[in-house]
Amino acid sequence: MARLSLSFVATSLALALLSAANPVPEYRWDLDVIPREASKLAFDEELNRIIAFDASGKHLGAVERRAVAPLTRRGGSCAALSADDAQKLPGWEKLKQQANDNWGDHKRKIVTNDDDFPTQPASICAQDAGDITIDGDSDCTSSTQTLSTGVTDTTGIATVSQTTGTSFTSSQTVTQESSISVGETFDVKVGIPEVVDVSSSTSLTATFSNSLSTTTSSTSNQQTTQTVAINIPKDSTCDITYSQTSCTTKGSGQVPFTATGWVWFEYDSKQQGHYKWALNMDDLLSDDERSSYMKFDSVVSTDTKGDYNASC
């Protein structure tokens, strides 16, 4: 009996040392949010928790499923991405193959913005268009306006109202709609390059409807008005001349529509212990693989008013 006890103690001690050398990983179940490095998710139906994994399959922890209302619109330049549109992305086959490699090509539904997972949304966002590409030379006309003012018998001071700067009006017509989020309306910035040394470059916030042949207009008035005083000699008349240049510039541009967020693969039978799995598009797909492009033609009108010139 003493030998058995001694052997048992020795064995227990050996197991304890082995365990210390190769500790069993302690899973974290107290996450507040899904970690940024997460590329795969699983839903644990029994514990009502979402389990996060990185790209290599390493377990990152779990967070309780948030039971709040889903968000369907995410600001002026983003909208909810539908499951149908997710499957129109250039990188969809790559994403689908990743799901097949992970959990098999079994019967399933493709879901985005599942009401059960409002904190794991999928969005489509219109990016800034950047500068339009100018098509040919700008068509410009210049003119002057003259105002005469004077005094008699004495010197005097005349005050005039002076406006300088440029006002911009841009008209955009969609020549190719994006294959995703057709009909949706987005606000994006469109860059206007410098026009023949008459006006400086600027940007406008334009509202686009992602529909073929639709036209929208945008304006940006960067003119300022101030009152200036002019000294007029005795018995003199002064001519105050203002310059004005109007230009019309044609160009073209494109707006990238880029998907972001999670796509859920919801299986009819459990795969690796769970019915619902998700993949992170941002982690697994490049920008080009997540994007579709809307193209447009633009006509930009500029009205530039210069400084005054007084001649007495």
DSSP 3-state of 40? strand
**Residue 195 burial class via C-beta count within 10 angstroms: exposed 0-12, middle 13-18, buried 19 and up:** buried
Cβ-contact 185, 234 below 8 angstroms: no
Q: Please tell me the predicted confidence (pLDDT) of residue 106.
A: 96
Q: Please tell me the predicted confidence (pLDDT) of residue 6.
A: 45
pLDDT confidence band for 227 (50 / 70 / 90): confident
Q: What average pLDDT does range 69-92 have in this prediction? A: 77
Q: How large a percentage of the chain has pLDDT more than 90?
A: 46
pLDDT confidence band for 23 (50 / 70 / 90): very low
Q: How large a percentage of the chain has pLDDT more than 70?
A: 83
Q: Please tell me the predicted confidence (pLDDT) of residue 150.
A: 59
DSSP 3-state of 37? coil
Query: Is pLDDT larger for residue 198 or for residue 41?
Result: 41
pLDDT tops 60 at residue 1: no
> In this structure, which amino acid lies at residue 58?
K
Q: What average pLDDT does range 61-86 have in this prediction? A: 71
Of 10-14, 181-185, 236-240, 277-281, where does mean pLDDT reach its minimum?
Answer: 10-14
Query: pLDDT tens digits, residue range 237-266?
Result: 778 888 889 999 999 999 999 999 999 999
pLDDT tops 50 at residue 9: no
Other beta carbons within 10 angstroms of residue 134's beta carbon come to 17
**Residue 21 burial class via C-beta count within 10 angstroms: exposed 0-12, middle 13-18, buried 19 and up:** exposed
What is the DSSP secondary-structure string of 94-156? HHHHHHHHHH-S-SEEEESS-TT-TTS-EEEEEPP-EEPEE-S--EEEEEEEEEEEE-SSS-E
Q: Please tell me the predicted confidence (pLDDT) of residue 292.
A: 95
State how far the Cα of 282 lies from the Cα of 110, in Å rounded to an integer.
17
pLDDT confidence band for 163 (50 / 70 / 90): confident
pLDDT tops 80 at residue 35: yes
Q: Please tell me the predicted confidence (pLDDT) of residue 238.
A: 79
Q: Token match 């310059």: residue?
A: 243
Mean predicted lDDT score pLDDT of the chain: 83
Q: Please tell me the predicted confidence (pLDDT) of residue 72.
A: 43
Q: Token match 């042949």: residue?
A: 213
Instruction: Determine how β-strand 185-192 pairs with β-strand 130-131.
Output: parallel
Q: Please tell me the predicted confidence (pLDDT) of residue 171.
A: 93
Give residues with Cβ within 8 angstroms of 226, minimum separation 6: 161, 162
State how far the Cα of 292 lies from the Cα of 126, in Å rounded to an integer.
10
Cβ-contact 243, 165 below 8 angstroms: no
Q: Please tell me the predicted confidence (pLDDT) of residue 75.
A: 44
- Domain-wise residue ranges, the chain: 27-127+258-291, 130-256+295-311
Q: Please tell me the predicted confidence (pLDDT) of residue 155.
A: 64
Q: Phi/psi zone of residue 110: left (φ > 0), alpha (ψ -120 to 50 degrees), beta?
A: beta
Q: Token match 């004495």: residue?
A: 154
Q: Token match 């709609």: residue?
A: 177
Q: In degrees rounded to 5, what are phi and psi of residue 103?
A: -130, 5
Q: Please tell me the predicted confidence (pLDDT) of residue 152.
A: 53
Q: Please tell me the predicted confidence (pLDDT) of residue 252.
A: 96
Among 59-68, 165-174, 300-309, name the most confident range.
165-174
Among 46-50, 233-237, 257-261, name the most confident range.
257-261
Q: Which tokens is 169 given? A: 């009006």
Of 159-163, 196-200, 299-303, where does mean pLDDT reach its minimum?
Answer: 196-200
State how far the Cα of 140 lies from the Cα of 138, in Å rounded to an integer.
6
pLDDT confidence band for 29 (50 / 70 / 90): low
